[in-house]
Structures are given as structure tokens and as C-alpha cells.
Amino acid sequence: MKINRNLIRIDGGTQSRVAIDEAVVAEYADRYAVGDYMPPVVLYFDGAHYWLADGFHRYHAAGRAQLLQMDAEVHNGTRRDAVLHSLGANAAHGLRRSNADKRKAVMMVLTDAEWAKWSDREIARRCQVTHPFVASIRASLVAVSSEPAAERTYTTKHGTQAKMDTAGVRAANVARAAEPPPAVGPSTLTVQQQAMPVIAPAERPAQAVAKPAAPAGWVAAPAPAPAASVQQPTAEEVAEDAYGDDPAELLGAAYARITELEELVEAAKADDQKAETLKWRQLYADSSRKQAEAQARAADYQQELQRMSDRLLRICKLFNERDTSKAVALVSDFVRKHTPK
């Protein structure tokens, strides 16, 4: 059915993706503009509002293409029904979900008081992910939530005791528990930073700092003993801190990595298919342009042919002849008779 795009609500937290891909929106907008078929968006109607559950890229693309009416598949349900539907959306169609998208979908369930009671397998079924993937995220949330009490005591610089409420810090840690660590590489540096040479700590020249002269009668305190060198943890210790000795955690991490690698393979295949599609679309556009040019030339030739036919017909009328095929002979005979010798 057709739905007025202005009636669709997207502000109810029903978007399970991390972000909207502007390149995909632009591609879909072009398809809308030329009249290509696009699947209907999925809406949930609670009697007053249409909540968008699947098709956020299509929704924004239709707006960019200035479409007022959209094809929609409408279900009766609440905003929460729309959220549940969005958790596994695009698992097998449309723009493939990233690992961060899947992680956000699982977090939407685990941070809900009602849905968090579901088993890992039920959450995995709803979010269209593997249950070890859900288990690893739940474990990280449990680890964060098991921190000490939200109220901590500390000593101020004046020597008095004070208390600090860390509930906000714990809430932020819970929200970040399932987020992937930021990528560190040349792409995160500025051009000037990438061009700067790397200097090892031993090679960096020490900067001379001017010290003020000590006042008269000042006795310098004895120099502190050199601090013991801090031993860096080994790779085994880092692995033990990250996963512990529980084989289930190691297996969950392995499954999560397998899922991520499968996504990377599918994404590479999708990019290849998209490139192939764009190539054929370009060939079609070139063929359409050449066809239009040929049709324009044919129309010009047709007009010229009509003008010549009209001219022959007028010549034949001067000689009271209806057969235009005799026009050449009539004109030649006329010229021969009236040419002075």
C-alpha cells in the first residue's frame, strides 16, 4: 500500500544500525528518480503512528528524490514491536549489517529490562546472530555491572574526606562495553603527523629547563631513590586478562571472530557485485544515449524527406501531373525546350 512519507515516524529508537550510509542513500535516490523498483518499507501502526522498522536508507532516499508517497508493508503493532522487527532486519537483504550494527542490536535487547531475561539463543534468533556472539557481549556487561558500589570515598587536597557518586561512570561503561575499540592507524593521523619522523625515546634530545636559583640558607632534600623498572606483561598474561581460563569464553571469542570474518567476506562479495552492477548500468546509459542520438538523426532525415516530397509534388502540379516519379523527366524536358540554342 501507499503511505504518505510525512506520516512515517523514525524518532522512536527503532533504528538498529549504528549509522546511515550516505553513499547507499544517494544510490537509492537515483533509483527512485528513474522509477526503478524498490522494496516497500516495513511499518508498525499502533492506531496513531506509523513506526519505521525496516527501510531507513529507502526512507531518506525517497526524501532526497522528493517522493511524497512510498510503498509500505504495514503491520499492526506498537513501537516496541517495530524495535523487535528492526533487530534482525537486513540480515539477508539490503545493505549488509556490520559487526558494529549487530553489536548494537544485541545491546538494545540486553539493556532492556524485559528482553534481557531472554536466553542467549533467543536473543541470537531475534537479532540474527550467533549465540556465542550474544554470550560474549552479555559477559562483558556482567563484568562491568559487578564493579564496586557506585559511591566511593577519596581524600581532597585539603586532607578532608569526600564521597563521589560513580553511578554515571558505571552507566557509561555499560554503554561502551560492547563497542569495538577505535581503529588506530595512519588514517586517524593528520597529514602533518604522518609526515613526522618517529623518534625512539632514547633518541629524543632532552630539553634543558632553566631552574631558579635556590634562596640563601636553602638545604636541598636528598634525591629520591630510582624507581624500580616496571615489567611489561607478557602476551600470555594479556591473553589471560582478556579471556581468563574459561574455555567457554575462548570459544565465544573464536565464534565472534569467525562471524566477523564471514561478514568481511560477504561485504567483499557485495562490493564486487555492486561494481559489476554499476558497470552494466553505465553500459546501459551509454546505449540509451546513442539510441536517443540515432532517433534524433532519423527524425531530422524524416523532416528533410517530407520537405523534398512536398517540393516534387508542387513541381508536378505545375505540369498537371500527379505521378511524382515523372518530375525529373518533366523538368528536364522543360529546360531543354526553353534553353536558347
Closest CA to 82 of 53, 58, 108: 53
* CA dihedral of residues 238, 241, 246, 249 (deg, nearest 10): -80
Mean pLDDT across the chain = 74
Mean pLDDT of 94-121: 89
pLDDT band at residue 148, thresholds of 50, 70 and 90?
Answer: low
Range name among 44-48, 74-78, 117-121, 283-287 with the lowest pLDDT average: 283-287
Residue 9's DSSP bridge partners are 51
Say which residue, 100 or 190, is predicted with more confidence. Answer: 100
Separation CA 315–CA 325 (nearest Å): 11
Amino acid identity at 76: N
Over residues 47-59, the pLDDT tens digits come to 999 999 999 999 9
**Domains of the chain: residue spans and CATH:** 1-94 (3.90.1530.10)
CB contact set of 182 (below 8 Å; sequence gap of 6+): 188
The larger pLDDT score, comparing residue 91 to residue 231, is at 91
pLDDT band at 249 (very low <50, low <70, confident <90, very high): low
Closest among 148, 180, 183, 191 to 166, alpha carbons compared: 148
What average pLDDT does range 326-339 have in this prediction? 79
Q: Are 112 and 27 in contact (CB under 8 A)?
A: no
What's the whole-model pTM score?
Answer: 0.46
3-state helix vs strand vs coil in the chain, percent to 5:
55, 10, 35
User: What's the CA gap between 228 and 241, in Å, rounded?
Assistant: 23
Say yes or no to pLDDT of 80 above 90. Answer: yes
Nearest-angstrom CA–CA distance, 12 and 16: 11
Grade residue 175 by pLDDT with cuts at 50, 70 and 90. low
Helix, strand, or coil here: 235? helix
Beta strands in 77-185 (DSSP E): 151-155, 161-165
Beta strand residue intervals within the chain, DSSP E: 2-4, 8-9, 41-45, 50-54, 69-76, 151-155, 161-165
Question: 209-213, 280-284, 306-310: which range is least confident on average?
Answer: 209-213
CA distance 83 to 79: 6
Using the predicted structure, report yes or no on whether residue 194 has a pLDDT greater than 80: no
